[in-house]
Structure 1
Amino acid sequence: AALHARYPVALIDEFQDTDPLQFGIFDRIYRAEGRHGSLFLVGDPKQAIYSFRSADLFTYFAARDRTDARYTLRHNQRSSPALIEACNRLFGANPAVFMMGGLDYVRVGAGNRPRKPLIDDTVDGEVAPLQLWRIPRDETLAEDDEGGGARLPRAVALHRAAHASAAEIARLLAAGAQGRVRIGERPLAPSDIAVLVRSHGQGARMRRALAAFGVGSVELSQASVFHTDDAEELERVLLAIAEPLRERRVKAALATAAMGRDAAALARLAGDEAALIGTLDAFVRWRELWLSRGFGVMLRQWMSDEGVAARLLARPDGERRLTNLMHVAELLQQDAGTATPEVLLRTLATRRRDAAGGEATQLRLESDRNLVQIVTIHRSKGLEYGVVFCPFLFDGYARSGSEGPMRAWHDDDGELVLDYREAAAKDEEVKARLRRERQAEDLRLIYVALTRAVHRCYLVVGSYATLSFGRVSHTEGGRSLLNWMVAGAGMDAEAWAEHKPSPVGTDACWRALVAASPLDGRPTMQLTDLPDGQREPLAPPDTAGQRPRAQRPPQLPAGWRIGSFSALISGAAQEQAALDHDANALDAGELAALAPLAGDAGAVAPAAPADDDILRFPRGPVAGDCMHAVFEAADFTDPGGWDAAIAAALAAHPQRLSADRRQRERPTRGAQQDEAARLPRMLRKLLADVVATPLLAHAGGDGLRLDSVPPARRLVELGFHLPAPRLTAPQLNAWLSAHGYRMPRLAFHDLDGYLKGFIDLVFEHDGRFWVLDWKSNHLGNRPQDYAPARLEAAMQAHGYHLQHLLYSVALHRHLGRSLPGYDFDRHFGGVLYLFVRGVRPGWQIEGRPSGVFHHRCPRATLEALDALLAGTADAPALEST
């Protein structure tokens, strides 16, 4: 009822792809008692081709039967009038063309959309828009029973159909380059041509045939990249890197296209022990890199060492192979995380076995150049192409259905049956129903394929031969669904399944169809024998005397984009402000110059920290990520789980003490084991110190401590998007200066979009909400190095003031929308920036904890910044100084 009240009218497109559950939901919303809303269902049952995604055409029929009114689009706005009439004749030859009761072919007329004509000056007279290529006789086979001659065997017919199509495409493109084949006044281009296929295997066959004629192509497919040869070869390489001392695996990897060793090279390697050891050492190095720096770094190093990109791109299908390789690598990198090589290889093996991989795994375009497109019929749905080739629709080979424990079929009332019976596998009635439903969907696929063309469509038809025990048979080829469309009239599906058509009779039906097809005296179909595919390859474009020249990059206006604190600060005047996590941290001398402390001059060097002191922990962005990971995962109130959080953080972000420091401090054979034990001790002591430190301690009070904050009162990595429709660097610079926040001068490009960020920690304590950010910067080894003046210097130098202001605006907006009765003065605690190397209970400066920066900007200041970001207020003008 609530959905109906909110959406009183609904229109659902592509409704032929619905399923029983989907329709049940909408039927309940719009047809329940007392409600009869406006529900519009738009769909073409002739294009229902997604049963593998649970689409159920019988549900569409049931919904159609319950509608109040039906409307039909009776004009085709895509194709030329002659091609529309050809399809009308072809699909109208058999009244039961779609093999399903309730699904008929309705003649359509030409729409009024203007179409530029296809002009072909390579032939005399008009060319029929539907070109039918009949499978010819094979003189090498014995005569059939009717004396009509045996047709080409299936394998030969498939090969010849691909090469005939490729040869014709090369001819059309050569003529187009000469201006003799045009669409309107524009020469026919490769992108005007599409070859429609059922499977990735058919697409690969067609791609090879086009390459043989010098025609570039690009494949659009819903096939999973994990089912390609490139995924299999990458798996071989990764198996060898994971176990580099297994010689057989290494040789299998070397034999892949990516590594390029042929049989002769492998034989030489087997006889050269020094070369073999050097090769195995390379695989060992890649494994060590995988373990120390991750999958992505290792893969890039392997590709660089082996020249993989150059080797693949030298192949005729190189762009396709390299695209597949990089696609698989990207998906594996997403899975990698903290996975060991063994775990990632199991993941790869599983994904290669999966029947469906999801949208992310569908084959990507390998190029955006002007190329002939090879498209699966499923993916072509809804698209149009000037000239279409359908070389493989004649194939009558029956594909098997599901091999799983369940079979889905429909009873006589159209109800879906999910049949888990073991006997169903041998039930002839069930098998017949499954066969009819598969054939009916295949006929709808043919309909989709033949209605994609605007001007011309090439279709291979007729019977082919199969050989069984030395005898020639035309039964399989004769029963193909294309032949059902022209020769199956008067039979039902069961009779057709038992029918034994002859090639002579089938050819006669095709000739009769063509003879009756002219429209106003102009041909709509033409039937000829399948060409032999013999012609010269397409000449490469004439580039003699031309030198490659880079084009000038276009001047694009700044568009809608997503910014962040890092993006805003990255162009600031001081380079140190670019990154966080101690990446470009100022050293103690620079900080002292920015914020000198009393007693710094002539001060005695501090005592060396203890071995397990966090001050000895590695520095840099990876070390900062490691500390952040510990604080994110640890329960501050339960030390019993800290060791697991620390172990996970070190596994995800491995750390090493510098080599010179290890040699200076532990010049013993046990240095490596000692280091492995010291790193967790450092992090545990850090965690214990930070959570036990009173963060807002005043004289006589304990203040706020993190070990009193349970997990239920904290949010880790709270993400936000702040609308920022008109934010400029001069505006923000002026605002920060006017409100007393000193930091490097910003120089980012104008932002029209959103500011994105993640707050390290938001927590609630005593009714107040706090923003907390962990800072791993190493500012020195003394408490004084983490005094308020030094922290302020670091906040200014790194631009952290802008960061905590953005975080405050985000939390202020969030609380205003989600906390009933929110009041800034009562609920907003402020921001805490913890420079964690200096946060410990025993370190205080004038009664204040070292390493703790606390700020709570006034409400008016925060709301002024909120208005500036939202584009509803202007920044104050800067006075000249």
Structure 2
Amino acid sequence: MSQPMDNVTQRPNLDLDPLALPLNGSALIEASAGTGKTFTIAILYVRLVLGHGQSEDSPLQNLLPPNLLVVTFTEAATKELRDRIRTRLTQAAEVFSDTPDDPEPPAETALIYKLRNESYSDPATWPDCRKKLLLAAEWMDEAAVSTIHSFCNRMLSEHAFDSGSLFKLTLETNQNDLLDDVARDYWRTFVYPLPPAWMDEALSHWKTPEDLRQAVRNLMDDPDSLGTAPASVHAAIQQSVEQREQESKTLKNRPWADWQEDVLDLLADLQKAKRLHGNSKKSMLTAWDNLVTWANSDELLPEGLEKTGFKNQTPEGLARTLKGEGEAPDHPAFHAIEELLAFADNPPSAKADILRHASHWMADRLEAEKQQRSEMGFDDLLTRLDDALHGPRGDQLAATIRRQFPVALIDEFQDTDPVQYRIFNRIYRVEDNAPETCLLMIGDPKQAIYAFRGADIHTYLQARQGVKNRTYTLGTNFRSAQPMVAAVNRVFEYSDRHSRAGAFLFGQGEASELPFQGVAAKGTKRLWSVNGELQPSLTFWTHEAGEDDKKGLAKGAATADLAESCASEIARLLTLGQAGHAGFARSEDPNDLQPVEPKDIAVLVNKGAEAKAVRDALGQRGIKSVYLSDRDSVLTSAEAKEILCWLRAFAEPRQLSYLRAALATPTLGQSWQALDELLTDELVLEARIERFLGYQTQWQQQGVLPMLRRFLMDFEVPGRLLQRPDGERRLTDILHIAELLQQDSLQLDGEHALVHHYTQILRAADEEEENRTLRLESDAGLVKVITVHKSKGLEYPLVFLPFGTTYRAQSEKQAFVRYHDASDRLVTVFDPTPDDVARADQERLGEDIRKCYVALTRARFATWVGAAAVQDWPESGLGYLIAGDSERPITDCLAPLAEGRHEILIEPLPEPETRHFTQQAPEDLGPALVSTREAREDWWIASYSAIEYRDMAGTGIAFTGEVEDAQTQNLLEESAQQTGEEDVAARPATRNQHQFPRGAAPGTFLHELLEWCAQQGFDRIVENPDALRQQLARRCSTRGWSEWVVPLEHWLLALIRTPLTLQRSRDEQSSLAGLTSLRPELEFWFESRNVQVARLDQLVTAHT
């Protein structure tokens, strides 16, 4: 995978002493899983605040949080780091107080006591230290603890001159709409004009512009690595289409008709010899009929090519199909069919050329659009700062940032990409080891598993070479029990010795660029116990292939088997836990047992399909689970789309298509008979309409949230959903959306505006990161199912990894592959050769091994690993670790791991049982308390001047909204006159339309009112003006326009009755009230014929 760099002597890392680490220059700290990385960062921060280890004239003395840069990669990690550092500073300040020493300080402060006693033994120095620490703790809200993107954004804005960036450059956090526009531009420019045959080539890969955008999104990040784009994508498509047709024609010219007679005789002989089953022969004969028909047609490929009739007539397929002894017959036809299948499997394609061309074109267009809009995305923050640091004023900018932040601690450094490392290397000059600055890079290369996000293990290795011998290791695991730590050490130490490329494919032992160093254990004192006996910490379940499975177990069948056995074992352990026979016992007192509960168990998977298989198997056994890697938004759920159907029916109850669609949604659980009655029984239909009219009225008077709650109760939705395994989640999603709708409705006018708004956000929901599915409080008590990627940084008492040998290899069928060349530069290769695929797959294997390390280090007490002999299982991460270069069965490969090791157990995959686990019901909470106080609403409608006069903004003081006395009334009026605004209470009662407020918001208000009138029917409004008055009162009250209810009522009624001249004829008039057919909000669609899309696009582009 990679060779150690020349002229560099590799050696084991130094064990890190947090109190002795030099706090200047550059250094790398490798923190294995569970070794206290965050704790170490906080201790180093305390030392930096104290100036510990610095000379009196050092520029690193007297530093405060605004000058101590701490960088991590997520907002959540930033918050956690900030809180942990503040806590540690406060604890340290307490240690430096005058209080007596704690004879047995807790572990988290023991190191601070050691720091005080060894380096600040004179109590006279303590007050100054305490002052520094308290000041730093109080200043943590302004601390420079941020994500890498926030840091870059800050530097670009604060140093705009040196960085050459615009002052008013807008950061667009979500560029999906812009990317969609660029993809449509490409589609319109290069795909629409294609002739039908060429367009079929493009559409065979991507059906829509959105599909193409997803395909090129990661390629657009670095278009320079893609090579030169085709000069003409149309020519590339033409060439592939013509080449495909020519190869098809060549295959058609084979003497298929002549061969058919020969092969039919061969098949008849094989059947007589009882070597060929009758059904197999029948499918082969059908294949030959299709072959002959195809050879005389214009079709590219014969029909049924994917069926066994063709596949069994290749040399390999025939040998596999025939029974008995003897060689399979040989005939040119069988080799020709093999060629035909190979052609069908991988025909000439323009996919790679289109991808390369689209990536270059769309990247250029995206950059041009962003410049025109003065926008930038998150990735632009990095590239712009990198460009500035390496530009003409780069030296000055780097020096300025160094002075501002002489110290930088970079957390999760293994997830750094090349651009990020270039930024910090340019600022802090890693190889120079400059004493006036301090750069500490903290991470674990064994957990570098985010290559798909741009994280690059080779960047980490470059930094490791840069710091030379200043690499330190946190060597003690403070999380897991000693047997669990010993078992993991055993797996990787064994692999490091028995694999030619070492445990992580970077060489063996001390010569490795990425050595494995085992860690000591100082974690929990409890141990995993069942029926009073200590259990192995690492159990491998072997699932060997049968004699008929020559290529290994089928992945689908293996997944089902592993999921069932995993769920069965979890049910067994939980049942034992309920009985007090399985749990976590203290080593010195086995009777002190904490029973295992569902919340203690996590199942790690690779993808959603595996999660579904496990959750289904758990659900069949009565075990509830939660999938923590579910990235679906609450707005992409099936319930979200059902709510849209409901809202449409509430807004227009007399629109029968909306009403029927709403009642047919699965959540309402209406029977087929009830739905059929809506079509056949007018009385039933009318009753439903009346009910939905009632919901509409409640929506208008009380809001969408109360209306939806009543609707759910009327149709008994909560009771029905809660009977389902996923019912609590579905009901929570519905209520969550109802709350979102209520919030949004406060900014919108009327039901139709909310329906339109909700429709728009549903369309955009697939790309949004917000409004994700809410986590229930009860989720904490369930079995967790989570992907290995998502589990990084987390810990669980017990972990199941049922699909340990599952992997996805690189393939020649891919349009492109990526790997690092001899210079450790990431390259993208289109139309890859077998050698390219092998190099890319080697890097895939390296990441899978690191994923395996992450998975095996999540448990505190015990881990179960499924090892199934699927096809090519040794190419999986786990397969490499246990088999290396061996081709032995899984059980034989695992056996050496367990020799003489009580903490490791190898056993066959347990037979699944149908044991049902019954969760104990929680204790009753008793009746709810009843409030004896009268609740008063603290909201009121007022003018801005009233709020300003009373100084109410932000005070939290409740105001009844009533003017208490004449003096206050006069003051309000006087204040209103001074500010140029009259309060509602002081305005004259007589008003007309010419005095109505002007602007976009009032205009939209009137527009929505007219649309509502149209939906109700203008004639009905005239006949029943009370409904209009109620609607006006509701809408005006939310804006403080209550005095406009009567004037607007008169104005609208007059408008509806006003006669309008039609067709330029004074004799033909009508009014809105007299219309018998109307459509509010007519869409702007116009019929067109014989329009050239390219010409239309040119006109639009020229005039917009």
- Using the size of structure 1 for normalisation, the TM-score is 0.56
Compute the displacement of 1:235 (Å): 5.6
* Partner residue, 2:913: 534
1:66-465 maps to which residues of 2 (within 5 A)? Answer: 66-68=466-468, 69-91=470-492, 92-93=494-495, 94=499, 95-99=501-505, 104=514, 106-121=516-531, 126-136=534-544, 143-145=548-550, 153-184=554-585, 185=592, 186-221=594-629, 223-225=631-633, 226=635, 228-231=637-640, 233-234=642-643, 253-263=662-672, 265-267=674-676, 269-279=678-688, 299-300=708-709, 302-327=711-736, 337-338=747-748, 341-352=755-766, 354=767, 357-358=768-769, 360-361=771-772, 364-365=775-776, 367-368=778-779, 370-398=781-809, 409-417=819-827, 419=828, 424=830, 431-464=837-870
Letter in 2 for 1:18: T
Higher strand proportion: 1
Task: Provide the C-alpha distance between the structure 2 equivalents of 1:182 and 1:79, rounded to a whole number of angstroms.
Answer: 15
Compute the displacement of 1:255 (Å): 4.8
Task: Provide the C-alpha distance between the structure 1 equivalents of 2:678 and 2:1021, rounded to a whole number of angstroms.
Answer: 41
Task: Provide the C-alpha distance between the structure 2 equivalents of 1:439 and 1:236, rounded to a whole number of angstroms.
Answer: 47
1:783-822 maps to which residues of 2 (within 5 A)? Answer: none
Corresponding residue to 2:895 among 506, 510, 514: 514
Contact 1:194 / 1:385 at 8 angstroms: preserved in 2? yes
Contact 1:240 / 1:253 at 8 angstroms: preserved in 2? yes
Corresponding residue to 2:990 among 603, 609, 614: 609
What is the SS of the residue equivalent to 1:223?
Answer: coil
Letter in 2 for 1:178: A
What is the SS of the residue equivalent to 1:194?
Answer: strand
1:591-740 maps to which residues of 2 (within 5 A)? Answer: 591=965, 609-612=990-993, 642-648=998-1004
Compute the displacement of 1:211 (Å): 2.4
Q: Which sits farther off after the overlay, 208-217 or 150-159?
A: 150-159
Compute the displacement of 1:456 (Å): 0.9
Compute the displacement of 1:117 (Å): 1.7
Higher helix proportion: 2
Compute the displacement of 1:181 (Å): 1.5
Contact 1:289 / 1:298 at 8 angstroms: preserved in 2? yes
Task: Provide the C-alpha distance between the structure 2 equivalents of 1:316 and 1:224, rounded to a whole number of angstroms.
Answer: 18
Task: Provide the C-alpha distance between the structure 2 equivalents of 1:667 and 1:360, rounded to a whole number of angstroms.
Answer: 39
Matched, 1:19 2:412: no
Compute the displacement of 1:224 (Å): 2.5
* Partner residue, 2:1084: none
Q: Deviations along 1:268-319, whole A, 9 cap, x unmatched?
A: 5544444345446666776787799876566545434434333322212212
Counting aligned pairs with the same residue, the percent is 33
Compute the displacement of 1:193 (Å): 1.5
Task: Provide the C-alpha distance between the structure 1 equivalents of 2:420 and 2:604, rounded to a whole number of angstroms.
Answer: 30
What is the SS of the residue equivalent to 2:798?
Answer: strand
Letter in 1 for 2:884: G
Task: Provide the C-alpha distance between the structure 2 equivalents of 1:565 and 1:436, rounded to a whole number of angstroms.
Answer: 66
What is the SS of the residue equivalent to 2:778?
Answer: coil
Task: Provide the C-alpha distance between the structure 1 equivalents of 2:716 and 2:906, rounded to a whole number of angstroms.
Answer: 50
Matched, 1:549 2:926: yes
Task: Provide the C-alpha distance between the structure 1 equivalents of 2:621 and 2:744, rounded to a whole number of angstroms.
Answer: 40
Compute the displacement of 1:512 (Å): 4.0
Task: Provide the C-alpha distance between the structure 1 equivalents of 2:821 and 2:491, rounded to a whole number of angstroms.
Answer: 30
Q: Deviations along 1:113-164, whole A, 9 cap, x unmatched?
A: 3421222216xx65321111112556xxx7245xxxx865322322232222
Corresponding residue to 1:29 among 406, 427, 439: 427
Task: Decide whether aligned partners of structure 1 residues 131 and 780 sit closer, same or farther in structure 2, where only a CA change above 3 A counts.
Answer: closer
Matched, 1:8 2:406: yes
Task: Decide whether aligned partners of structure 1 residues 432 and 284 sit closer, same or farther in structure 2, where only a CA change above 3 A counts.
Answer: farther
Q: Aligned pair count?
A: 581
Task: Provide the C-alpha distance between the structure 1 equivalents of 2:894 and 2:988, rounded to a whole number of angstroms.
Answer: 99
Contact 1:165 / 1:389 at 8 angstroms: preserved in 2? yes
Task: Provide the C-alpha distance between the structure 2 equivalents of 1:292 and 1:429, rounded to a whole number of angstroms.
Answer: 70
Task: Provide the C-alpha distance between the structure 1 equivalents of 2:573 and 2:902, rounded to a whole number of angstroms.
Answer: 20
Letter in 2 for 1:46: K
Task: Provide the C-alpha distance between the structure 1 equivalents of 2:740 and 2:840, rounded to a whole number of angstroms.
Answer: 35
* Partner residue, 2:17: none
**Structure 1 portions without partners, runs of 5+:** 465-474, 491-500, 554-563, 572-576, 579-583, 598-605, 618-629, 631-641, 684-773, 782-881
Q: Deviations along 1:602-628, whole A, 9 cap, x unmatched?
A: xxxx996244487xx9xxxxxxxxxxx
- Using the size of structure 2 for normalisation, the TM-score is 0.46
Letter in 2 for 1:481: G
What is the SS of the residue equivalent to 1:71?
Answer: strand
Contact 1:128 / 1:525 at 8 angstroms: preserved in 2? yes
Compute the displacement of 1:39 (Å): 0.2
Task: Provide the C-alpha distance between the structure 1 equivalents of 2:504 and 2:761, rounded to a whole number of angstroms.
Answer: 42
Task: Provide the C-alpha distance between the structure 1 equivalents of 2:868 and 2:988, rounded to a whole number of angstroms.
Answer: 92
- Measured on the aligned residues, the alpha-carbon RMSD in Å equals 4.8
**Structure 2 portions without partners, runs of 5+:** 1-398, 586-591, 931-950, 972-986, 1047-1104
Compute the displacement of 1:533 (Å): 1.8
Task: Provide the C-alpha distance between the structure 1 equivalents of 2:1032 and 2:661, rounded to a whole number of angstroms.
Answer: 42
Corresponding residue to 2:877 among 463, 475, 481: 481
* Partner residue, 2:115: none
Letter in 1 for 2:416: T
Q: Deviations along 1:189-248, whole A, 9 cap, x unmatched?
A: 222211122334433332332222222333322523255544455566567767877767
Task: Provide the C-alpha distance between the structure 1 equivalents of 2:672 and 2:556, rounded to a whole number of angstroms.
Answer: 29
Task: Decide whether aligned partners of structure 1 residues 116 and 450 sit closer, same or farther in structure 2, where only a CA change above 3 A counts.
Answer: same
Task: Provide the C-alpha distance between the structure 1 equivalents of 2:819 and 2:695, rounded to a whole number of angstroms.
Answer: 51
Q: Deviations along 1:503-525, whole A, 9 cap, x unmatched?
A: xx332xx334334434xx44232
Task: Decide whether aligned partners of structure 1 residues 675 and 775 sit closer, same or farther in structure 2, where only a CA change above 3 A counts.
Answer: closer
What is the SS of the residue equivalent to 1:531?
Answer: coil
Task: Provide the C-alpha distance between the structure 2 equivalents of 1:479 and 1:512, rounded to a whole number of angstroms.
Answer: 14
* Partner residue, 2:1069: none
